[in-house]
Chain A
């Protein structure tokens, strides 16, 4: 046994984030940690990393009790945490990032570049990566940055690697590379604590699974023989029907018409129509141009050519306010930077898109704003102490509900959701699916962009697939399968040859 927590608990005031968790992690295993947002996963990781001090219990690694609440002690004991958003130096290249703070030196002062290079190459080769020297980290892909972060962790003696949502923004191929790297590590005896909402990945990758719910340890089981439903049941404590197929309502009039929309080099000749009450799923690989199409429809980007019509009337290109006035709403993929103003309160965020229309004579009506905020908090089941808390303090799922609720307050006619459930737990996900369906049933025209094929299949009445900036096909709900979507989404082999990095 490599690491053991005994009765580990953490309270913040009266809130018990983690309650008496006793878990053991074995050397060389992939140990998955799952639970809904707010179940205590982050707290557990932070305790292992020494970022927070436990309220009760202890952690021991290799038989020795770890000094509580000390980042330095955790690092020295060989615990490395790779977070969703890496805290690397974006302006430095991969090599500098690998060694910053503990660079090998010559004569005590001069950088030993050749040694750094050799060492860096060896570390990355161990993960099946090649060293990209001379390019700032910001120019590398998310996957490559992640590999650099993992390699950095390995360069200091690492016994337990904690990966927090590592695949949240990776493409299918990049995920494959990551899993291969993880398998190499475990073969070398490193334990991996793998935190993810993607249950398929966990079933494919993990040796054992620990489930947390409301801060408590529900169970730890061998992953073999478990099904996705087993995991969901265990996380939620009840049955969740994740992909119910509501009958497609009879589609109404054309709400949104996109005609030959192009914006070089992101997308070309995009045309489709979206009807009232219809949900179109826009599938494709990361980088296929889906989000860029959404941004152009919403007026955030100006297209080179083509037009966008809402209820038959053309929108002026590149004008967000005109698009909103016509009834278009976009819940962007990057909710932290584009969807929400994180330091502002839940209430303020919920009324941000309707500020002017709630005011009378140029003066804000606080009571009207409070009513709208309360209505959306209730409708979206947003869990927050009050509308006066900053959105930043909410969990990812609740933040997303605020990002959606803010637009529902504006009563849109066309709703575009870009990766609406990314990084969100199953419970909140099911709520969001239910909401999207009921909004469509109420006549809202909805476009859902998603990399999660099951999500696309479960929600959409029709599915459009994009590949390299073009619509490569359309599938009806009856005809659509994961395989067919993937076949349309994957780049043609001929086009790929010689382009891959």
Chain B
């Protein structure tokens, strides 16, 4: 068997990188790798992970969704306003998720039916959703959610954060859907060649709308988790999050040109960014180092990957 036949080089390299990082961290500061610390730090990652799952599928179709951070903020504000208006916190969360789904559907319709490039569409809605969130909340934070709701962001089941369980279920479902459903394979085909996909009778427009709607829905869910954890909903939350999400997906081996990528890679990409960032923050206590470290990590992973998968043709 030739080396080139092994399909998981990228994931393997990334896992090795993470392992090296954790071993290094354990040498420098053993407390960092303890279960307790890791669980405590994990609360920072769930929104990123949740948004990275639909982003993987979108980038597989050669699309992009820059509006996820703003859609998340808009969802959070809708959640907060609904709660303030007297709705039960869970009902309010449902309203927020619906708002996110509508944001995503709007993106999807513009991409699929108006045929505007997703970069343009979501660059516009990146600004627009945030603007609506600021406008309807008047920039004021909303807090005072009951403990029965904040459990979504803070609670654990058998020691595992509830948010983590939700993310794991969604990531698993998405991974299976990509690998084992007709729609999943269709997304890869669309990413490689949308015209040939249409000529093969694949429901290109329908899948595109569904995909962006799903991204918005996940943004709504991420908003609920975020609000539950911080006990506050504010229009400026999730600012710049879309770039972290895209970085994690690309780090995970999904081609920005479409046609290839896997959820398992994205999970590792999220993990690599999360652990690096948390360790830097934990050990040196310099937040500004984060961005540099993530950038270095991205370049290192891409270069290492190229070293192992140099095409033989």
Residue interface bits B197-238, CB-to-A below 8 A is 1, else 0: 111111100000000000000000000000000000000000
**Min distance, Cβ B186 to any Cβ of chain A, angstroms:** 7
Within 8 A of B (CB), among A268-310: 298, 300
Within 8 A of B (CB), among A304-350: 320-321, 324-325, 330, 332, 337-344, 348
Q: Is the interface of B mostly helix, strand, loop or mixed?
A: helix
Residue from A341, A342, A352, A353 whose CB has the most chain B CB atoms within 10 Å: A341
Contacts of B195 in A (CB 8 A): 337-338
- Whether the pair B189, A352 counts as a contact (CB closer than 8 A) is yes
The verdict on A435 contacting chain B, using a C-beta distance below 8 Å, is no
- In the complex with contacts A337-B193, A342-B193, A363-B180, A355-B198 CB distance below 8 A: no
Bound Cα distance from A353 to B196, whole angstroms:
10
- Whether the pair A332, B185 counts as a contact (CB closer than 8 A) is no
- In the complex with contacts A352-B189, A355-B186, A339-B199 CB distance below 8 A: yes
What is the chain A residue whose CB lies nearest that of B179?
A: A364
Q: Is the interface of A mostly helix, strand, loop or mixed?
A: helix
**Min distance, Cβ A300 to any Cβ of chain B, angstroms:** 6
- In the complex with contacts A340-B196, A341-B196, A364-B185 CB distance below 8 A: yes
Number of cross-chain contacts by CB at 8 Å:
65
Residue from A298, A324, A330, A355 whose CB has the most chain B CB atoms within 10 Å: A355
- Whether the pair B196, A364 counts as a contact (CB closer than 8 A) is no
- Whether the pair A338, B202 counts as a contact (CB closer than 8 A) is no
What is the chain A residue whose CB lies nearest that of B197?
A: A341
- In the complex with contacts A341-B193, A342-B192, A363-B180, A355-B199 CB distance below 8 A: no
The verdict on A362 contacting chain B, using a C-beta distance below 8 Å, is yes
The verdict on A406 contacting chain B, using a C-beta distance below 8 Å, is yes
The verdict on A140 contacting chain B, using a C-beta distance below 8 Å, is no
Contacts of A320 in B (CB 8 A): 198-199, 201
What is the chain A residue whose CB lies nearest that of B199?
A: A338
**Min distance, Cβ A292 to any Cβ of chain B, angstroms:** 14
Residue interface bits B164-207, CB-to-A below 8 A is 1, else 0: 00000000000000001111111011001101111111110000
What is the chain A residue whose CB lies nearest that of B313?
A: A393
Contacts of B80 in A (CB 8 A): none
Contacts of B196 in A (CB 8 A): 337-341
- Whether the pair B192, A321 counts as a contact (CB closer than 8 A) is no
Bound Cα distance from A416 to B196, whole angstroms:
16
- In the complex with contacts A337-B196, A341-B196, A344-B192, A353-B201 CB distance below 8 A: yes
Bound Cα distance from A364 to B185, whole angstroms:
9
Contacts of B200 in A (CB 8 A): 341, 352-353, 406
- Whether the pair A343, B199 counts as a contact (CB closer than 8 A) is no
The verdict on A359 contacting chain B, using a C-beta distance below 8 Å, is yes
The verdict on B63 contacting chain A, using a C-beta distance below 8 Å, is no
- Whether the pair A355, B197 counts as a contact (CB closer than 8 A) is no
**Min distance, Cβ A363 to any Cβ of chain B, angstroms:** 6
Bound Cα distance from A294 to B186, whole angstroms:
24
- In the complex with contacts A300-B198, A320-B198, A364-B182 CB distance below 8 A: yes
The verdict on B259 contacting chain A, using a C-beta distance below 8 Å, is yes
Q: How many residues of A contact B (CB 8 A)?
A: 28
Interface size of B as a range: 20 to 34
**Min distance, Cβ A207 to any Cβ of chain B, angstroms:** 36
Bound Cα distance from A364 to B199, whole angstroms:
21
Could you say which of A321, A342, A343, A355 contacts B182, with CB atoms under 8 Å apart?
A355
Bound Cα distance from A298 to B196, whole angstroms:
13
What is the chain B residue whose CB lies nearest that of A332?
A: B199
Bound Cα distance from A341 to B203, whole angstroms:
15
Residue interface bits A345-388, CB-to-B below 8 A is 1, else 0: 00010001101101100111010000000000000000000000
Residue interface bits A375-405, CB-to-B below 8 A is 1, else 0: 0000000000000000000000000000000
Residue interface bits B42-73, CB-to-A below 8 A is 1, else 0: 00000000000000000000000000000000
Contacts of A353 in B (CB 8 A): 200-201
**Min distance, Cβ A13 to any Cβ of chain B, angstroms:** 9
Bound Cα distance from A300 to B195, whole angstroms:
10
- Whether the pair B181, A362 counts as a contact (CB closer than 8 A) is yes
Contacts of A321 in B (CB 8 A): 201, 203
Contacts of A352 in B (CB 8 A): 185, 189, 197, 200, 202
Contacts of B198 in A (CB 8 A): 300, 320
**Min distance, Cβ B43 to any Cβ of chain A, angstroms:** 34
Bound Cα distance from A324 to B200, whole angstroms:
8
What is the chain B residue whose CB lies nearest that of A340?
A: B196
Bound Cα distance from A366 to B184, whole angstroms:
13
**Min distance, Cβ A322 to any Cβ of chain B, angstroms:** 9
Bound Cα distance from A342 to B195, whole angstroms:
12
- Whether the pair B181, A363 counts as a contact (CB closer than 8 A) is yes
What is the chain A residue whose CB lies nearest that of B190?
A: A341
**Min distance, Cβ A402 to any Cβ of chain B, angstroms:** 12
- Whether the pair A330, B199 counts as a contact (CB closer than 8 A) is yes
Bound Cα distance from A332 to B181, whole angstroms:
27
Contacts of A341 in B (CB 8 A): 189, 192-193, 196-197, 200
Bound Cα distance from A143 to B285, whole angstroms:
66
What is the chain B residue whose CB lies nearest that of A330?
A: B199
Contacts of A362 in B (CB 8 A): 181-183
**Min distance, Cβ B313 to any Cβ of chain A, angstroms:** 8
What is the chain A residue whose CB lies nearest that of B259?
A: A343
Bound Cα distance from A324 to B198, whole angstroms:
11
Bound Cα distance from A348 to B182, whole angstroms:
11
Residue from A300, A338, A366 whose CB has the most chain B CB atoms within 10 Å: A338
Bound Cα distance from A320 to B195, whole angstroms:
12
- Whether the pair A359, B199 counts as a contact (CB closer than 8 A) is no
Contacts of B197 in A (CB 8 A): 341, 352
Contacts of B192 in A (CB 8 A): 341-344
What is the chain B residue whose CB lies nearest that of A410?
A: B201
Supplied contacts A332-B199, A341-B196, A355-B186, 6 more A-B pairs, CB within 8 Å: A338-B199, A341-B189, A342-B193, A353-B200, A355-B182, A359-B181
Contacts A/B (CB < 8 Å), 19 sampled: A300-B198, A320-B198, A330-B199, A339-B196, A340-B193, A341-B189, A341-B193, A341-B200, A352-B185, A352-B189, A352-B202, A355-B186, A356-B182, A359-B181, A362-B181, A362-B182, A363-B181, A364-B180, A366-B180
A-B pairs, 6 with minimum CB distance? A355-B182, A324-B201, A352-B200, A341-B193, A341-B192, A338-B199
